[in-house]
């Protein structure tokens, strides 16, 4: 991992989260956290939560730190996603895109049920159609 500038060495995980939430205009902070993913791990979905007060210097000092990727994710899923949509539409959109990316990258393929993947696919097709003003019957070839 390259050397970090001195001004970043004392920055903790919570500071990074608050900065990202401010830049992304997300108000529901209780659902988000930073997670580490080991890029050399054989388990694609395995991620580790960062500790709240852990600094970037401590993170960079960990063995094999150059193989880690830091992800800003919804880690604490709301009981009802519709409540999140009403409370913070931007956080909901971020959560939705995270779910889609997890499916596409097969992060949790061994745990996902087929009907869940089909429902998510159908929802994604519907969202694409609405955002592109496609009305009537939807042709899968047109979406591809």
Q: Does residue 64 come out as left (phi exceeding 0), alpha (psi in the -120 to 50 range) or beta?
A: left
pTM over 0.75, yes/no: no
Work out the percent of the chain whose per-residue pLDDT is above 70.
Answer: 83
Do residues 138 and 129 make contact, with C-beta atoms less than 8 angstroms apart? yes
Helices 114-131 and 89-104, packing angle to 10 deg: 120
Instruction: Convert the pLDDT of each residue in 4-51 to its tens digit.
Output: 444 444 577 778 888 888 999 998 888 888 888 888 876 666 788 887
> CATH code for 6-112?
3.10.20
Q: How many Cβ atoms are within 10 Å of 65's Cβ, its own excluded? A: 13
Alpha-carbon distance of 107 to 44, in angstroms, equals 5
pLDDT at 144: 60
- Looking at residue 44, what is its pLDDT? 63
Mean pLDDT of the chain: 78
Q: What pLDDT digit, counting tens, does each position of 61-71 carry?
A: 888 888 888 88
At residue 88, the pLDDT reads: 92
Q: Where are the domains of the chain?
A: 6-112
- Alpha carbon of residue 135 to chain centroid: 30
Q: Quick one: DSSP state of residue 110? A: T
User: Between residues 1 and 44, which one has the greater pLDDT?
Assistant: 44
Percent of the chain at pLDDT > 90 equals 7
Q: What is residue 107's predicted lDDT score, i.e. its pLDDT?
A: 72
pLDDT (0 to 100) of residue 142: 62
Asked whether 143 and 125 are in contact (CB, 8 A), the reply is yes
Cα–Cα distances (Å) from 18 to 23, 27, 35, 52, 60, in that order, read 9, 10, 15, 11, 20
Maximum Cα–Cα distance for the chain, whole Å?
Answer: 58
């Amino acid at each position: 991992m390259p050397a970090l500038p001195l001004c970043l060495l004392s920055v903790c995980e919570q500071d990074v989260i608050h900065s990202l939430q401010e830049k992304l205009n997300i108000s529901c902070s209780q659902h988000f956290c930073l997670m580490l993913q080991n890029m050399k791990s054989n388990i694609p979905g395995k991620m580790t939560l960062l500790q709240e007060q852990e600094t970037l210097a401590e993170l960079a000092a960990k063995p094999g730190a150059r193989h880690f990727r830091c992800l800003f994710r919804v880690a604490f899923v709301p009981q009802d996603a519709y409540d999140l949509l009403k409370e913070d539409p931007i956080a909901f959109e971020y959560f939705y895109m995270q779910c889609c990316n997890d499916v596409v990258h097969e992060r949790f393929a061994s745990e996902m049920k087929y009907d869940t993947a089909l429902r998510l696919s159908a929802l994604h097709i519907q969202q694409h159609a609405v955002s592109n003003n496609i009305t009537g019957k939807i042709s899968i070839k047109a979406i591809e």
